[in-house]
Amino acid sequence: MENEQQASFPQLNAPAPAFKAKTTHGDRKLEDYRGKWLILFSHPADFTPVCTTEFIGFANAAPKFDEMGCELLGLSIDSLFSHLAWTRNIKEKFGVEIPFPIIEDIKMDVARAYGMVHPGAADTQAVRATFFIDPNGILRAMVYYPMSNGRSIDEFVRLLQALQTSDANGVATPENWCPGKPVIVPPPKTADAANKRASEGYDTVDWYYSTKSL
């Protein structure tokens, strides 16, 4: 019983768990997103106020994610009919069209594969989990929020920008990095490289901490 209640979690920098599911835009599987970034996110339930604000936030940011080559895919343990009714209600009451598909996960197959169900929070609802999957199907980031508090969509935009910048330039990004700010140069791995670091043209505080502008 104890093992049954433990949530299993996917691993960062490993292939994201494969799935095939019904959505409000037809059947979707992980392989459909190969070659693009994917943000897969769960919410506890349709027709709930915090989730409604999050979906409006994701919808408003959808053009920005699209510019970055990223698709959005929602999920909850509700039926397609509930999803459709809820998105229609959001359009009617808030004037916002939900442009991305939402997975019907009544049997919790996807939710369990991604560690979205936490028995300490609820046995039949997914917590606010968000997964960043890269164009090669590799899980690159996971963010979990409690049911009581909404996510920051702006932070997800920033995180995707940071991941893409690191991939493209072989660098790391500091706390609260945003495009246009200096990035962190990987520290040297040998004594000889450490001795040379100060003369390599970076903004170097010490051998292990150097930044540069892109």
Q: Classify residue 186 by its DSSP letter.
A: P
Whether 178 is catalytic is no
Question: By the 8 A CB rule, do 98 and 55 touch?
Answer: yes
Tell me how far apart the alpha carbons of residues 123 and 48 are, in angstroms, rounded to a whole number: 17
Q: Give the C-alpha separation, 204 to 209, whole Å.
A: 6
Where are any strands of DSSP class E within 1-156? 20-23, 26-29, 37-42, 70-76, 102-104, 128-133, 139-145
- Does the annotation place 112 within a ligand binding site? no
143, 115 Cβ separation under 8 angstroms: no
Q: Residue 131: name the closest of 4, 14, 22, 7 by CA.
A: 14
> Is 210 in contact with 202 (CB distance < 8 Å)?
yes
The SS3 assignment for 177 reads: coil
- Give the active site residue among 51, 90, 110, 133: 51
β-strand pairing of 139-145 with 128-133? antiparallel
Catalytic residue ranges: 51
Residue ranges of the annotated binding site for substrate are 128
Residue ranges of the annotated binding site are 128
